[in-house]
Amino acid sequence: MNVLEKWYSLLIFVSVVIGIGLGRYEVVKINAEFFIVPFLVIMLYLTFLQIPLGKIKQAFKNVTFTLTTIMMNFVWTPILAWLLASVFLSEHPALWIGFIMLMVTPCTDWYLVFTGIAKGNTALSASILPVNLLLQILLLPVYLLLFTGTTGIVEMTVLVESVFIVLFIPLVLSILTKTLFKNKERIKEKVAAIMSGLPIVFLNLAIVAMFAMHGQLLLDNIDLVWIITVPIALFFITNFIIAQRIGSFLRFSYEDRASFSLTTLARNSPIALAIAMTAFPDEPLVALTLVVGPLLELPILVGITQLLLFFRGREAAFRD
Q: For 287-296, how does the pLDDT look when each residue is reduced to its tens digit (9 = 90+)?
A: 777 777 777 8
HSE at residue 51, side-chain half, CA atoms within 13 A, is: 27
Name the DSSP class of 55: G
Supply the pLDDT for residue 299.
81
Supply the pLDDT for residue 257.
94
Supply the pLDDT for residue 240.
96
Supply the pLDDT for residue 5.
60
The lowest-confidence range among 14-23, 159-168, 256-265 is 159-168
- Rounded percentage of the chain residues whose pLDDT exceeds 70: 83
Residue 106 predicted with pLDDT over 70: yes
Model pTM above 0.85: no
Long-range CB contact pairs, 232-238, < 8 A, 24+ = 232/99, 232/102, 232/289, 232/292, 232/293, 232/296, 232/297, 233/296, 233/300, 234/84, 235/80, 235/81, 235/84, 235/103, 236/265, 236/297, 236/300, 236/304, 238/80
Which domains are assigned to the chain?
3-319 (1.20.1530.20)
Q: What is the pLDDT of residues 55-95, one digit of tens each?
A: 556 666 788 999 999 999 999 999 999 999 999 998 888 88
Q: What is the pLDDT of residues 41-53, one digit of tens each?
A: 888 788 777 766 6
Supply the pLDDT for residue 318.
75
Q: Which residues contact 295 (CB under 8 A, 6 or more apart)?
A: 9, 12, 13
Residue 179 predicted with pLDDT over 60: yes
How far apart, in whole angstroms, are the C-alpha atoms of residue 140 and residue 105? 7
Between 119 and 195, residue with greater pLDDT: 119
Supply the pLDDT for residue 175.
83
Q: Give me the amino acid identity at 308.
A: L
Q: What is the pLDDT of residues 139-157, one digit of tens each?
A: 887 888 787 765 555 566 6
Supply the pLDDT for residue 193.
63
Q: What is the mean pLDDT of the chain?
A: 81
Residue 191 predicted with pLDDT over 70: no
